[in-house]
Chain A
Amino acid sequence: MSLVNLSHVCSHLNNATKARLGFTSIPNSNLHLKLCLALQNDGFISSVVRGGPTPPAMHSLLGYPTTNDETQGLEPMTQTNVASRRLWLGLKYWQSQPVLSKISMVSKPTRRITIDVAGLSEVIRGDRSSYVEGLRSPGESLYLSTDHGIMEARECVEKKIGGLVLCRVL
C-alpha cells in the first residue's frame, strides 16, 4: 500500500481536472482501484475501467468506456499483461467547473494518520480532530482505508469504524 503512488495519483487528478481533460489514466493497483470506485460511487468521476497503455474503446452509446461493454469487449487481465495495466478514469465537469475540483492527501507517505470513530464524528461535524481538519465546505469528502474497504468518512461513522485517512476531496 504505497502512499507515494497515491500522492502521485492525487496530483495527477488535480492537473488533469485543471487542464479540463475528459479522460485520464492512473497506474493500476488495488488501492487505486478501490479508491476510484469509491469516488465513482460518490459521483466524482464518471467511469473506472482497467485497460492497457492505450485508452479502451468507447461505448457506442454512452461515450465513455464501460467494463460490461459487449460490443467492444475488454482485454482480460492476465499474468503477462498485468504490469502494463492502467486505470482509465472519466472525469466530470458541471457548468464548466470540474466536479472533482481538488483532491489532496491527508496521510503522507512518511506520516500515516489514523482516526477513530469519536474523532471522525467530530470531523464530519466540521470540527478539527487531532491532525484532521473538519469537513467544512458543502460536498467535501474524506476517504479512509478501513477493515471493510475504502469508505467515505460519513459512511465510516454510520458503520462505526475508524481507519487510515487517505485523502480529502472537494
Chain B
Amino acid sequence: MSFARPARCLICRFSRAAPTTGPRVPRRQFHLTPTQLDKKDYTLHEISRSMKPEDFKSYTEKEKARLKQQYTPEQLAAIEAGEAAIDPKDLADQFAIRQDPMKLQYLDDFSTIEPGVDKHIRAPESNSDYNATLKTEEDFIDDFARFFAEMPEDATISDWVRFAESTRMTQGKEENELNPNSSLVPDLFQPGETLEGRTSEPPKYFDDGESKARKDMEPDEALKTLMKVTGYSAQEVMRLKARTLVSHAVVNQTRLGKVRSAYVLAVAGNGDGLMGIGEGKSQEAGDARIQATYRAIRNMQPIPRYENRTIFGDVRGKSGAVELKLMSRPPGFGLRCQSLIFEMCRAAGIDDLAARVERSRNPMNTVKAAYQAIMSQRNPEDVARARGKKLVDVRKVYYSGRSDARRF
C-alpha cells in the first residue's frame, strides 16, 4: 500500500470535473494485494499451438522393425497408409499439447469407455419388446423336438450344451432378451474386473456378516445354549450390540488363601428398543466376558422410548451410593452423558438424553442405577388409564393416524 499520497475521497471518483495536476495514481492504491499486471483469460483460440510440421516425422527403420513385432504385415501397411494420408502441416495445425491453465491433468487416448467418467453405453430403446412373453412348456417341447430332429448322427455333449445355451426363454424380439434396453446405470466393474485388474475370483457382495458367521460356525456350548434359550440364530446374536462396560478382578478370601477371579459387566441391545445388562464372573477374564455378554443378551427387555429416540420424562435411579438422573431431551440433542450411560443408550437405541450422576460414581453401580432408571419410566398411557382419563396422541392423529411404533 502506498502512502505517498493522501487517501482520496470515494465520491471524487465519480466527479472528474477538475483535472488533477499531479501524476495519475492507480485506483487500486487502497488495496493490500498487488495488482496483477499479466492477468489474462485464456480462450479456446489462444491455446498455444507450438507444434511444427517437422515434429511429425515418418517412422524410422528401427521403429518399423519394432512395429513389425507387434503387427501383421497387413496391419503395418494400413498404419503406413494412414500416416501417409495425413499431411504433417495439418497435424501441426490441429494438434497441440496444451500448456494453458485449463489443460487436462492427464493424458488419455479416450479410446476406451471409462465407466463412471464417460457416458454410459446403453442398448437402444428399439431393443425393447413390450409384447415379449415367457415361453410356455409346449414351446420348450417344440424346441426339444426340433433339436432331436436336427441332431446329427454322431451327436456329442457339446451339441447339447450349445443347444441349452442358445435356446431362448422368451418369445418376441431377440434383442429384448439378450441385450435389453435399461435405464439403470451399469455397474462400475464388469464381472471379473477389479481396481487392480482382471481376476478370476467371483465378485464379492455385501452379505451382512453371514459368511463370517459361517466361517467360525461350530458354536460353542454357551452360544448353543443362548441360541436355544433366546431363539436367536448365530447371525442375529452377532448382529446385536454388545459392550463390556466394567471389568475388574475380585478376590474371595478362603482359609486356603485368596481366590482371584475376573468380574465383567456387559450391556447388550439391538439398537432399536431392546436392552439388557449381564454380569459374569469366572477364573478366566475371557470366560467372564462371554458369560456376561450372553447373560446380557438373555436379559434383554423392551425399553420404553418416546418417539423411539428419548425417554418418557425425567427418571431417577439409585444403586448403592450412586444416584443418578436421566433427563429426556428434544430431537437432535444427542447423548450428553458419561460413557457408561452412553453405551447403554446406544445399545437401547436412545438418541437424545442428558444424565447427571450424583453422589458416588462407581462404574458398576452407575450401570445398574441407569438400568433401573430406564426401566422405571412411567408410561403415559398407563398414567392416563390409572386416572381414568383418555390419552390422545395428537401427533399420531396429525400424521393421519399412522403409528411408526416398531414391534419387538
Contacts and interface: CB of A to CB of B under 8 A. Distances in A.
Interface residues of B, number: 17
A29 B364 CA distance: 50
15 contacts: A43-B387, A43-B388, A43-B389, A92-B386, A92-B387, A94-B385, A95-B382, A95-B386, A99-B387, A136-B313, A136-B327, A137-B312, A138-B383, A139-B378, A139-B383
Given A95-B382, A138-B380, A139-B378, A42 B327 contact: no
Given A92-B386, A94-B386, A137 B378 contact: yes
A17 to B, nearest CB: 12
Contacts of B385: 94
Interface size class of A (residues with CB under 8 A): 10 to 19
Given A42-B387, A43-B387, A136 B382 contact: no
Given A43-B388, A138-B380, A138-B383, 8 more contacts: A42-B387, A43-B389, A44-B387, A92-B386, A94-B385, A94-B386, A99-B386, A136-B314
B384 interface: yes
Interface in A26-70: 42-44
B244 interface: no
Interface string A134-169: 001111100000000000000000000000000000
Contacts of A94: 382, 385-386
Given A94-B382, A95-B382, A136 B387 contact: no
A137 B328 CA distance: 9
Contacts of A42: 387, 389
Interface in B301-333: 312-315, 327-328
A95 B382 CA distance: 9
Interface in A81-126: 92, 94-95, 97, 99
A135 to B, nearest CB: 9
Nearest to A133: B314
Contacts of A136: 313-314, 327-328
A140 B327 CA distance: 15
A139 B387 contact: yes
A139 B380 CA distance: 7
A139 B385 CA distance: 11
A97 B379 CA distance: 13
Nearest to B385: A94
Interface in B332-361: none
B277 to A, nearest CB: 24
A53 to B, nearest CB: 30
A127 to B, nearest CB: 12
A95 B384 CA distance: 13
Nearest to A94: B386
Contacts of A139: 378, 380, 383-384, 387
A169 to B, nearest CB: 11
A141 B312 CA distance: 15
Contacts of A137: 312-315, 378
B358 to A, nearest CB: 16
Nearest to A43: B387
B313 A140 contact: yes
A97 B315 CA distance: 16
Contacts of B314: 136-137
Contacts of A97: 386
Nearest to A136: B314
The 8 closest A-B CB pairs, nearest first, are A43-B387, A94-B386, A137-B313, A139-B383, A138-B380, A43-B388, A99-B386, A136-B314
B389 A138 contact: no
Contacts of A140: 313
Nearest to B379: A138
A97 B386 CA distance: 9
Interface in B137-181: none
Among B312, B378, B380, chain A packs the most CB atoms within 10 A around the CB of B378
A94 B387 CA distance: 9
Contacts of B389: 42-43
Contacts of A43: 386-389
Contacts of B383: 138-139
Nearest to A138: B380
Contacts of B382: 94-95
A22 B385 CA distance: 18
A138 B313 contact: yes
Contacts of B386: 43, 92, 94-95, 97, 99
B363 to A, nearest CB: 27
A110 B170 CA distance: 92
Interface in B383-403: 383-389
A40 to B, nearest CB: 10
Contacts of A44: 387
Interface in B87-124: none
B9 to A, nearest CB: 53
Most buried by A among B379, B384, B388: B388
A95 B378 CA distance: 12
Nearest to A98: B386
A165 B354 CA distance: 28
